[in-house]
Structure 1
């Protein structure tokens, strides 16, 4: 998923989907970054349409610290940590 943290043992990968800011969330947590990446892209393909109010984020957590990995919003499009600056 594109972060220096992602190869570490004990890292959790969370993908969160919200249809409105601060609204209820659908989320999943995996220990495998490839699974989290697959789900992120599946949810983006299913729900990420121009004009929709949607926030999709992927976060890696290691040692109790959360690191944003990537996000997608209708306004900002796809942003990847380390490529598009801080998320």
Structure 2
């Protein structure tokens, strides 16, 4: 089971989108997350995987020049705890 969350970053000027993307990338890397994809050219899109539990992180550009942060967690188990073979 997964949980998805999205947080809109409102009121950021379009001219700051790439700067925000670079800052988010640097922060994720210092937290030990692995960058798996980046936008090209003027695209601020960024995707990462968390170091410990492998959930997905993203910074995405949406129509209207708005950015949002999103996360998909794979750490919710229907029975409350992961199967023994997945525990670390």
- The alignment's TM-score, normalised by the length of structure 1, stands at 0.33
Larger radius of gyration: 2
Higher relative contact order (CA 8 A, sep 6+): 2
